[in-house]
Structure 1
Amino acid sequence: MLSVSVVTVDRLIREGKIPFYLLWKGFKRYKRRDVLDYIASLPQGEPEEKKLRAVRSA
């Protein structure tokens, strides 16, 4: 199963990469599988946790 951190989801919402129909208000109208497929199709960057660790160790 796809695991997405809260930080990542919040960032995608802020950047407008998750459209309204995948947000909570529209979520009830669509199947959960649609949401997971959409998030899985987005380009994967470096996980936020790794970025934070790199900054702290520098």
Structure 2
Amino acid sequence: MKTFLELLEELLVEEFNKSPNEAKELIKNNPVIVSQAMMNGNIALRGCAMALETK
């Protein structure tokens, strides 16, 4: 299973036409944005899991 950072890097490369090095630099140089996205993603995943569990 890929990590959040691996998926983010892949998205930047494939959908936003960044080179792998550019993607790594963007992630490294913007820790606040990345950490907020990780927190929001975690909340969304937990919400989805809770909804699926009740089915």
TM-score by length of 1: 0.34
TM-score by length of 2: 0.35
Q: Which has the larger helix fraction?
A: 2
Q: Give the number of the structure with larger relative contact order, counting CA–CA contacts within 8 Å between residues 6 or more apart.
A: 1
